Chain A
Amino acid sequence: MAVAIVILLIALGSIAFHFWSPWWWTPIASNWQGMDDTILLTFWITGFVFVAICAFVAYCVWKYRYQKNRIAEYKPEDKKLETRLILITTLGVIALLAPGLLVWNNYISVPDNAYKVEVVAYQWGWKFRLPGKDGVLGKTDIKLINDENPFGLNLEDSYGKDDLLVDEGELHLLLDRPVKFELRAIDVLHNFYVPQFRGKMDMVPGMITYYWITPTRIGEFEILCAEYCGTGHYAMRGLVIVDKEKEYNKWEAKQITFDKMFAKNKNNKNLQLAKNTK
């Protein structure tokens, strides 16, 4: 008996928790409202099924509780009922899947006017690279990474020379402009995740993965790593700042190009070598 009540309470309690608890998703700051909407849709459909089935179970447990002289029904199957249930379930599943696939299609098709930002993950932090004046990111290779060339840019590729390298774990983005993140890892798997942007994708050494967003809200947002990457995984944080054009340009102007950085590093190294040989 108590079970029937408890099952009912669990169903109702879950609803109550859903509406009254302070925990819900972080306010969105990107164009992926569609994801939130799909979640809500899924919530309504599945929530309804959950409550309905729990209520049915509670009812059965109460109504058909054991009585010595009751005889249970003998009914091996009911074709009609089963067919109906299959049909309804299939419809429900289609209702969930269709919008999901539509949004996914948007997620993987980057708009043409998106500008590119490269995100480089390492154990355990974030670096960024902007294409510079020419708007094209130079080629890279993990094999080329060394002290002078921490991003592993290909020196032969002239597109790379004006690339802006951002090494302090803080990235600025333009408000309301679609941006494509090109994701790269140099050691192990990582995942570039900003809860307010909703998007997510693993970064795999040896590959360039991507996703895109349009920031819709000015503010500072924390970058988290969402793919286990070793002992420092939980502390692998960074910062994204969404700016209006003016502030953004100011920030961009402060970043140094690969050319300059490489020359500086080389110089330092030569100095170092000279010191050592003395």
Chain B
Amino acid sequence: MSDEYEHKLEAKSDYVSDASSGTSASDIDKLPPAELPDQELYHSHSWWTTYVFSQDAKYIGVQYACTAIGTGILGLVLSWLMRLQIAFPGLGLLEPSAYYQFVTMHGMIMVIYLLTALFLGGFGNFLIPLMCGSRDMAFPYVNMVSYWMFLVAVLVLLSSFFVPGGPTGAGWTLYPPQAITSGTPGHNMGIILMLVSLVLFVAGFTMGGLNYIVTVLQLRTRGMTLMRLPLTVWGIFVATILALLAFPALLVGGLMMTLDGLLGTSFFMPAIVSMGEQLKYEGGSPILFQHLFWFFGHPEVYIVALPAFGIVSDLISIHARKNIFGYRMMVWAIVGIGALSFFVWAHHMYVAGMNPWFGFFFATTTLIIAVPTAIKVYNWILTLWRGNIQLSLPMLFSLGFIVTFLNGGLTGLFLGNVTVDVPLSDTYFVVAHFHMVMGIAPVLVVFGAIYHWYPLITGRMLNETLGKIHFWITFVGSYAIYFPMHYQGFIGVPRRYFEIYDSPYIETSTMGLNVFITVAALIVGAAQLLFIYNLISSARLGKKAEKNPWKANSLEWQTPEMPPAHGNWGKEMPKVYRWPYDYSVPGAKEDYIPQNVAPSAVTEAKVEKS
């Protein structure tokens, strides 16, 4: 991507501004005439093409979000069942095979079909055109197809619950040989449907991703340079690039494994004796699959994390009424983390039997990536410093995010450091770590973002009291679930255990801890239902939102109508005169100056040179 950039970047410096140092109002507002024709828009004519087969990115975004959240609720219910089984094995709630199927479906749903789809498909579609100041995505039709592909992928995934043998129980990592041999639940139909669903998801995502990239690069409004984009767009943009580069690895691994399963090829399958019977496979390498999987899997973590980073930066800045501290550093960190994330994949494989010398390399790269990540945390908290912090719901969730992400990031330093990973890998320490860092933390951002942008979508505010209850239960509750879980990991309780029955090395009190965790999980889960109720009921009964209720600067709040209409901007496209973080500018009357406010309107505001 960036190589092309070199030759193709518009030679901006060629324009010589003639308004060199004018002060009169007309002078400082002066813009060159638009060179690009306004974007052609598809206008729907029937109910079907308006509401169902919509080509409007805003609708598509909402469709993506609803589908993702709906699937996510299934993932949540599965987690309840698993937790009940772990805490109360006496109930005999699940069979081992069902437990493993639920672990797999839960993991896959949460990572791919909830978070990836929600951040990129949901927030990406809704926010990119609005924040860049364009009328719609670059290819609305392709964008629509992208959503429908995603829906089909979800349906295929769900259909695997109803086939003989049930869904696959291979773990979300889908490692061969177990994924397709008979000791694993769902080893014939289930795994194939899972792989087909993933292939569809990747295909659908590629179409969406194409749109995000082209829209961000080519369809911004006048005056919107890359460095004037809100960090939300940066996060989603870089995450999209990562996804386009990383998903092919999953696709390739998935296709090859499908053939191993269906045709009996031996890409990943070595000679094995399964259940006392020699299979006809020979020579394949299971480790090769793991490399492909994690070449996708690790960037996948950042595909979820980067949009969350971007969004939370904006939420913190807006609700602390202060510019984000170190904007440039934040952009560099996003780009840097994105680039580095392709060099750390094998930290998931320290004890997988690969050449042990790789351990040195990957431990080093992994700990290097901690530095830009730490920078982001510093900049968030430095944004709070000397801010004017409104404890609105989005801010509360952002604070929750900082604590949770910090915790999960720090335990990442344990697991990234080869030696420490040896005793801890594949134990509950890992489960606790990744739930903190890529489960709870991004989900808290999702909530914050929904409380923040809900008025823009529906024109109404979400109920504040319900929101507060939701926040407190979710934040404190999920910390109560996952913090103690690390200690089970120290004891050495392995993950993916259907039952941890009497083991001499496990103190019996650990069972009590399990009950505690499960109760907390059930309460946290119930709170999510409260949130769903709030979402649905507020759409009709919520308090009417005023325009730009949070007094934000970025373009999405500056549309002529709220919620924005088809085409977003009415007759005339907005012109951008500043970056999106002009909060509390010294001298200005208001504590915010939207991006499209011309300098002549705020002559009193003076930004001193830094």
Contacts and interface: CB of A to CB of B under 8 A. Distances in A.
A250 to B, nearest CB: 23
B363 interface: yes
Contacts of A71: 388, 584, 586, 591
A206 B371 contact: no
B507 A66 contact: no
A189 B351 CA distance: 12
Contacts of B424: 39
Interface stretch (B17-25, B242-250, B410-418, B526-534): B410-418
B71 interface: no
Contacts of A70: 388
Interface stretch (B111-119, B121-129, B396-404): B396-404
Interface in B243-291: 270-275, 278, 282-287
B164 interface: no
Residue among A90, A200, A207 having the largest count of chain B Cβ atoms under 10 Å: A200
B375 interface: yes
A104 interface: yes
Nearest to B330: A77
A31 interface: no
A209 B356 CA distance: 10
Nearest to A25: B490
Interface string A70-96: 111111111001100110011001001
Given A74-B584, A145-B278, A86 B375 contact: yes
A146 B278 CA distance: 8
Contacts of B476: 6, 10
Q: How extensive is the interface on chain B, given as a class? A: 35 or more
A186 B403 contact: no
Interface residues of A, number: 105
Interface in A192-250: 193, 195-196, 198-207, 209, 220-222, 224-235, 237
B360 A104 contact: yes
Contacts of B406: 49-50, 53-54
Interface in B394-448: 396, 399, 402-403, 406-407, 410-411, 413-414, 417-420, 422-427
Contacts of B356: 104, 107-108
Interface in B488-546: 488, 490-492, 494, 496-500, 503-505, 507, 509-510, 513
Contacts of B491: 23-26, 195
Nearest to A68: B388
B43 interface: no
Interface in B345-380: 351-353, 356-357, 359-360, 363-364, 367-368, 370-371, 374-375, 377-378
Contacts of B183: 123-124, 187-188, 229-232
A206 B285 contact: yes
Interface string B325-341: 11111000000000000
B204 interface: no
Interface stretch (A56-64, A111-119, A156-164, A171-179): A56-64
B371 A93 contact: yes
B313 to A, nearest CB: 13
A221 B503 CA distance: 10
Given A82-B329, A97-B363, 14 more contacts: A3-B396, A17-B487, A23-B484, A38-B419, A57-B402, A64-B387, A73-B322, A86-B371, A96-B367, A100-B418, A152-B273, A206-B270, A207-B287, A233-B498
19 contacts: A23-B491, A39-B423, A60-B389, A64-B385, A64-B387, A66-B321, A74-B586, A89-B371, A97-B363, A108-B357, A142-B270, A143-B278, A145-B278, A186-B273, A201-B353, A222-B503, A228-B171, A229-B178, A231-B185
The 6 closest A-B pairs by CB, nearest first: A195-B492, A206-B270, A230-B183, A72-B322, A46-B410, A100-B417
